[in-house]
Amino acid sequence: MALSQAAPPIKEMLPVYKRRTFAIISHPDAGKTTLSEKMLLYAGAIELAGNVRARRDRRNTVSDWMEIERTRGISISSSVLQFDYADYVVNLLDTPGHQDFSEDTYRTLAAVDSAVMVLDAAKGIEPQTRKLFEVCRLRGIPIFTFINKMDRPARNTFALLDEIQEVLGMESVPMNWPTGDGNLFKGIYNRETERLHLFTRTERNERRAAETLLTLDEFLQASKQEESTLGEKLLQDIELLDGLGIHLEPEKVLSQKQTPVFFGSALTNFGVELFLQRFLALAPFPQPYKAIDRQILPTEPDFSGFVFKIQANMDPKHRDSVAFLRVCSGEFTRGMSITHQPTKREIRFPTTYKTFAREREIVETALPGDILALPNNGRFSIGDTFYTGRPLEYERIPRFGPEHFAILHNVDMNKYKQFDQGLHQLETEGAIQVLYNVHSSRREPIIAAVGKLQFEVVAARLENEYGAKTRTEPMAIDAARWLEFDETVDIDALARQDVILAKDTKDKYVLLVRARFMLDLIQERFPSIRYSKISAS
């Protein structure tokens, strides 16, 4: 029984409604970056997996462009990839899967209208998947699920659907169904068209897997002729699914009560294009965004947007910085005058870009849902609002409280200027927070991060991008709290053997304690002190 398909509304013909801006989230090694790359292949945006169009084979994926990303084989920084597919303009934000970079993922999720959750068919929902899902839930982001790696031995498909519902609390609606897993994964049954797509394995960089289209009856007969039970098993599964009476309801997808589920294999291209086509048709167009005093509709005539990411040295030949801005309303035109809300200054951008990993292309106009890359000379910060017309300010993007701390030693003092410049840039990007011990005679920075791997990234980027070699000395800090207090508090009296009094680069006091119970003792001694896990500004 086919699922119902509603005709698209007339407004879908308007350019803003053909935008799709989404992130791909997953636990590490679930195949997130491979799926991103295969989408680009189908769109014709790249010709070889892992390579920008017309580029020679550099043995790295398009979205993983940092040197440390290539050597470690993980995504460290979110990448923005804009491309066209059919009638859609697609803004794909590929996010880090490793939990140590979850703050970068959180900021990226602030700029999307939907998310694709990639699950490993053999592992199901893993810890980082669940954490990222919770972030999506907090932001109200609709989730689409791609169960990957069906070409390998997998868990029972019905068990995977049950797990999504039990663990994540969303009704899972299978849009297609696999013939089996591992060597039995021959194709995908499309429940909407009631056709089976049988695939033939192709080379890794082939744009499409060779496929044959059959009805369920035709596949059943072919299986019998081959003395295979594959057809009968698929028929039983489809009849069971139809008997459950689960139907896709778009409004439930938007409210996170349902997640459309697709099966496939990104590595072999099985089912990827079927997923891409249906996902783009179902995914929400640019949604309203909440400013401090009102909701901003994408159809409002005045331009507005906010910075969700800052990245330096995307081009290793230049020491540049780029601010990535999500367009929320109106139309941006290159060279137009827009107001930078924090400074109230009007700024013109004669050169603005759309990006494809670190590749850039000058863009003349941008609509809601699009991601603009603005040249940044250090004036802009994450969360900054830009607008024309009536003043507004979008809600700031919260920071995570740091969990790991280390003293950062500059090995070569002749590189102090480069060291200081690089450290400032990394903090501006939100990779780390920089603190200084108020009572230390040596002005060596304390770096604070959500995950330990950030320390490795900091050291690698300082050396590779700024020529500054460093050494980190881990600190046994159990908790950090930003402080608010009145003039009656003797702030210097807070420091003791198990407590470090520090300041951040905005001159805010931070208390670092080696044992969490010290926070209660200090609070008893100084009851007027107020703690915060993150900086208030």
Which domains are present in the chain?
11-282 (3.40.50.300), 289-387 (3.40.50.300), 404-532 (3.30.70.3280)
Rounded distance between C-alpha atoms, residue 263 and residue 269, angstroms: 11
Rounded distance between C-alpha atoms, residue 487 and residue 372, angstroms: 45
Q: Which residues contact 224 (CB under 8 A, 6 or more apart)?
A: 231
Rounded distance between C-alpha atoms, residue 328 and residue 297, angstroms: 8
**Per-residue confidence (pLDDT) for residue 7, from 0 to 100:** 43
Rounded distance between C-alpha atoms, residue 290 and residue 272, angstroms: 34
Rounded distance between C-alpha atoms, residue 499 and residue 520, angstroms: 12
DSSP 445: P
Find the angle CA(456)-CA(26)-CA(79) to the nearest 5 degrees. 60
Rounded distance between C-alpha atoms, residue 506 and residue 90, angstroms: 38
**Per-residue confidence (pLDDT) for residue 44, from 0 to 100:** 83
Helix, strand, coil shares of the chain, percent, nearest 5, are: 30, 30, 40
- Low-confidence residues of the chain: pLDDT under 70: 1-13, 47-78, 96-102, 202-210, 314-319, 357-358, 536-537
Per-residue tokens: 339: 């107001």
**Per-residue confidence (pLDDT) for residue 208, from 0 to 100:** 60
Per-residue tokens: 124: 């199901």
Q: How far is CA 197 from the centre of its chain?
A: 31
Identity of the residue numbered 473? E
Q: Is 163 helix (H, G, I), strand (E, B) or coil?
A: helix
Q: How far is CA 456 from the centre of its chain?
A: 21
Rounded distance between C-alpha atoms, residue 188 and residue 185, angstroms: 8
Four-residue CA torsion sign, 123, 127, 129, 133 = positive
Using the CB atoms, write b or e for 364-394: b if 16+ within 10 Å. Answer: eebbbbbbbbbebeeebebbbbbbbeeebbb
Rounded distance between C-alpha atoms, residue 151 and residue 264, angstroms: 8
Rounded distance between C-alpha atoms, residue 479 and residue 457, angstroms: 22
Q: Which residues contact 398 (CB under 8 A, 6 or more apart)?
A: 106, 534
> Which H helix or E strand runs over 471?
strand 470-474
Whether the pTM exceeds 0.75: the reply is yes
Contact 128, 453 (CB under 8 A): no
E-strand spans in 236-364? Answer: 258-263, 289-290, 295-296, 304-312, 321-329, 332-333, 337-340, 345-348, 353-356, 359-362
